[in-house]
A and B are shown apart, each in its own frame.
Chain A
Amino acid sequence: MSGGVRGDSDKHSAATVTVRIQAEDFDIASEIAALAEGRADIGAVATFTGLCRDEGGRLSSLELEHYPGMAERAIRTIANEAAKRFALTGITAIHRYGKIAPGCNIVLVVATAPHRQAAFDGASFLMDYLKTEAPFWKKEHRKGGGAGEWVSAKDSDDRAKARWDKR
């Protein structure tokens, strides 16, 4: 999904679940405000923002490719699971695609809950699953226009996901 239209919320879950895949940047404050609007049962908001690094000045940009349709579906499945598992009041996940310059936003996760541990855990769980299960791929573009490499998947990301199995 692209454009500035708010993604549809999942009415089957008690939590407000919003997932958007877009080329445009996002505004963290307004995403938090949207989750908190009209609710008095939220005691904690945890956010995670993933940005593009320049890898020691080597990169001119990262290009994010995704599988349209499946990308939103996969993240929504993970978000619904997080909402249920940690009894969140709301969760918002936004992932950008296209060319992203160093210092710019790539991904945002906002999790709200009555208490802080659930909000932290919800955001962390969502990111660990998103990194290994959402169909996105990163290609590096080097400064000076050199041919870029596709970023390799990390074993550490699989281990980060696996730690949630033990709980």
Chain B
Amino acid sequence: MSMRVVYFAWVRERLGKGSEELELPENVKTVGDLIAHLATLGEEYEAVFAVPQVIRAAIDEEHADHDEAIGAAREIALFPPMTGG
């Protein structure tokens, strides 16, 4: 399954990219699975996703918990807690 993953704030900065198209293994079913998978993709990924609890997610621009299924999502966003306002 191919998926567009987008990153913001220090997640984007530390990975050195704002988005990428990823081929996901069959066993990646939820947001939490995706984060665990990303942590295996290299040193920067491992560092950024070492503590999954600090990562927030959105599936197709709607907030999503880590146990939420990715399903047929077009775009998953991963970012730190929001600090706007």
Contact partner of B84 (CB less than 8 A), chosen from A69, A73, A107, A152, is: A107
Contact B83–A133 (Cβ < 8 Å): no
Considering only CB atoms, which chain B residue lies closest to A71 in the complex?
A: B84
Q: Which of A47-82 contact B (CB under 8 A)?
A: 50, 64-67, 69-70, 73-74
Residues from chain B with a CB closer than 8 A to the CB of A65 are 8-9, 12
Of A127, A132, A133, A135, the contact of B79 (CB 8 Å cutoff)? A135
Q: Assess the B82–A136 pair: CB atoms within 8 A.
A: yes
Chain B contacts of A107 at CB under 8 A? 84-85
Distance in angstroms between the alpha carbons of A50 and B84 in the assembled complex: 10
Please classify the interface of chain A as helix (H, G, I), strand (E, B), loop, or mixed, using the class held by over half of its residues.
mixed
- Contact of B79 with A137 in the complex, beta carbons under 8 Å: yes
Whether a CB of chain B sits under 8 angstroms from the CB of A164 is no
Partner of B85, one of A69, A130, A139, A150: A130
A37 to chain B, nearest CB (A): 27
A70-B58, A70-B61, A150-B9 known; A130 vs B77 contact (CB < 8 Å): no
Interface residues of B toward A: which range?
Answer: 10 to 19
Q: Give Cα A65 to B83, complex, Å.
A: 10
B63 lies within 8 A of A67 (CB): no
Cβ of A140 to closest chain B Cβ, rounded Å: 11
**Nearest 4 pairs between A and B by C-beta?**
A136-B84, A153-B81, A137-B9, A131-B85
Task: Pull 17 A–B residue pairs with CB atoms less than 8 Å apart, ordered by A.
Answer: A66-B84, A67-B58, A67-B77, A67-B79, A74-B63, A106-B85, A130-B84, A132-B81, A133-B82, A134-B85, A135-B79, A136-B84, A137-B80, A138-B83, A152-B81, A153-B82, A157-B85
